[in-house]
Amino acid sequence: MTIDVIYYSIIDNQQKTITNLHSSLIEFKQFECIGIFSCFSDYLKVRHKYATRLIFINIDSIAENYIQSMARLNKSVGIPPSYIGITSCSKKGFMAFKNGFLDVIFEPEHLENCREVLIRYLENRIKPSILCVQYYYDFQFVRIENLVFMSADNYTTELYLKDGTVINSFKTLKFCHAQLPSNFQRIHKSHVINTLYVRRINYGKMKIHLRCVEQILPFSRTYVSNVDKVKLMLARPENSYFL
């Protein structure tokens, strides 16, 4: 079964805390690190390169006003990430909850405390149902269930919806794909499809037919394993009925 990846970043300048957090995170296959930053300002400079869904902030080691930095980040993205604080101070932890943190890791030197928060996050996490297509401060919100496939157009991406609408994103196909759940599979260097719209897979001609759109998409040998995943997903009892 394919696991939805949760991309996270860490904002911390204490190596011991970073090491402890990583030791806990590697136990869970869902998490994938895309960056470690010594201060929030460094993250804000490169935020447009990442599709971060979760940010860990060491409140004890960050000298800058992280509340203002969070507000700035939340304003600049369509769907803000979730925040988990790291602190050894109960008062700072309380303030973190008050200022919108999803959870707080107290006494991070104890690995069990890190694991408990990560387990709680996974148990309570709501899978994303909206994809935000952003151009500077213009945000378009697309229901993921209505997205049939995406195609690369140089360094931009075209999103094809089931009602025939085509939306242009000024992000790469790789960036857009990283924000989507596991039923979206890359079948070609230029195409990502929503498995739930597949109606035919022709291995002989290396073509995939989708519902709601006229385009017949090619898949390449490089991504045949992903096409096999699509077939397995569709073969699940809840998704299929074979004649």
Q: What is the pLDDT of residues 95-137, one digit of tens each?
A: 999 999 999 999 888 888 899 999 999 988 877 788 888 877 7
Which stretches of the chain score pLDDT less than 50? 1, 242-243
What pLDDT score does 243 carry? 41
119 and 143 share a domain? no
What pLDDT score does 218 carry? 96
- Tell me the DSSP string of 169-236: ESS-HHHHHHTS-TTEEEEETTEEEEGGGEEEEETTTTEEEETT---EEE--GGGHHHHHHHHHHHTS
152 and 73 share a domain? no
Q: 70: domain CATH number?
A: 3.40.50.2300
Pairing of β 138-143 and β 207-210: unpaired
Helix 111-124 crosses helix 15-25 at what angle (to 10 degrees)? Answer: 50
- Report how many domains make up the chain: 2
Q: What is the pLDDT of residues 169-189, one digit of tens each?
A: 998 999 899 888 889 999 999
Where in the sequence is the domain holding 175, given as residue range(s)? 130-234
Q: Is residue 44 part of a domain?
A: yes
What pLDDT score does 82 carry? 92
Are residues 128 and 179 in contact, defined by beta-carbon separation less than 8 angstroms? yes
What pLDDT score does 194 carry? 96
Residue with tokens 């909206």, as numbered in its chain: 130
